[in-house]
Chains A and B, each alone.
Chain A
Amino acid sequence: MNRENSGYTIIYASVMVIIVALGLAFTHQVLSDRQTANVNIDKMQQILRSLNIDAKPAEAEEKYNDLVKNAYLINIEGVKVEGTEGTSPFDPAFTAELSDENAEGLPVYEAEIDGAVRYIIPMSGAGLWGPIWGYLSVEADGSTVYGSEFGHAGETPGLGAEIVSPAFRNQFKGRELLKSGVFMSIAVVKPGQSVAGRDYVDGISGGTITSKGVDHMLLTSVGKYKSFLMNLNAAN
């Protein structure tokens, strides 16, 4: 069989492509359950980090189930949507995508730490290069931040990517989202500047656009929960 023959070349190429395609599809099938489990565990780790708990992947699921007592969807007026309660990775709150316009509602998680209830709110926005997201955990008064967690897809390492660092996140502890019962959000400003009428934290030096992205995310994405937070505040 002549190696340089056109027919041979075409058959060779086709057989190779088929074998490779089958091999890859098979590998993906076999591994996809584990991969989905890993994605879920990663999300649980993020939620735990917003509660100031750094859990390793192996212990994340257990800790999550231990602390997160409830999860559900709320509508834009802040009222719980019937039938959406459940804390497993298959329930509406865990699987909800914030960017989905046709979603039934917005996810909220409730955790109980040392007897006190904290509410965890997911948020998503845009950084310099791609999406940014995070979780904010709030005290029962619907205003004081207990902890925060941020994530990004492709921000510049050492600059915008620093939003995931404990130094940036710790600034949010104790800051208030509401002033006099009204949702004001927390501003992210250039280090050294200040804002009147609302709480603020320092942005990242050299990561101006990513910091602005976080600021905008806190205003609009967390802003969707303002009725929910103001209701909590009024009740407490």
Chain B
Amino acid sequence: MDAINLIVRSIFVDNMIFAYFLGMCSFLAVSKNVKTALGLGIAVTFVLVITLPLNYLLENYVLKAGALVWLGEEFADVDLSVFSLLIFIAVIASFTQLVEMIIERFSPALYNSLGIFLPLIAVNCAILGGSLFMQQREFANLGLATSYAFGSGIGWLLAIVGMAAIREKLEYSNVPKALKGLGITFIITALMAIGFMSFSGINI
């Protein structure tokens, strides 16, 4: 039950885009077309679901203060948390490289339409943000951390696909010249974010 709660909450209440505005750069750039948005959303979710639990294990068994105690009592004082940023980003960058190679192999069409944004998944704030929030929130076990990763990824996917759907329709609207493109996208994002706040009372 806890896990389901966590997933629903990370999709709607603590949505990576609408509550924390993480992953905005690729969100703004790839949200012009629903198919590409869906592809990127799935890629981001996939990277999150693998890297966050990996980083969770690293954080709890290697990095945080006293984590190395399983090696032996004398390691109880060791605090490697100063290396967490480096380790997290290394894990994420390596795994993104892997995903890039897989997509190039199995779906060259998607690979071409995503272009530069595929390697940019490595610096997507939402992915590193997920790992950093995991570090701050101290999840009780690996299962909950994975549920959180899954929920966050789906939340991001929902946001970018929703935005793409709206922007596709927006082609026919009469937007003031100075607001065309970036400006109106920002306003739509803000309105969607306010809309998502209505989920804040969810309790399963």
Contact = CB atoms under 8 A, between A and B. Distances in A.
B200 A154 contact: no
Give the interface size class of chain A: 10 to 19
B95 to A, nearest CB: 18
A8 interface: no
A192 to B, nearest CB: 14
Interface in A58-81: none
B200 A130 contact: no
Interface residues of B, number: 14
B9 A128 contact: yes
A131 interface: yes
Q: Is the interface of B mostly helix, strand, loop or mixed?
A: helix
B186 interface: no
B138 interface: yes
Contacts of B201: 206, 208
Nearest to B138: A130
With a 10 A CB-CB cut-off, give which of B14, B82, B83 has the most chain A CB atoms. Answer: B82
Contacts of A130: 136-138
A28 B82 CA distance: 7
Interface in A141-177: 153-154, 156, 159
Contact of B82 (A27, A153, A154): A27
A63 to B, nearest CB: 29
Interface in A78-136: 128-131
B138 A153 contact: yes
A209 B203 CA distance: 8
Interface of A: 20-21, 24-25, 27-28, 128-131, 153-154, 156, 159, 206, 208-209
Interface of B: 9, 13-14, 19, 82-83, 86, 133, 136-138, 200-201, 203
5 contacts: A130-B136, A156-B19, A159-B200, A206-B200, A208-B203
* 5 nearest A-B residue pairs (beta carbon): A130-B137, A28-B82, A154-B137, A206-B200, A129-B137
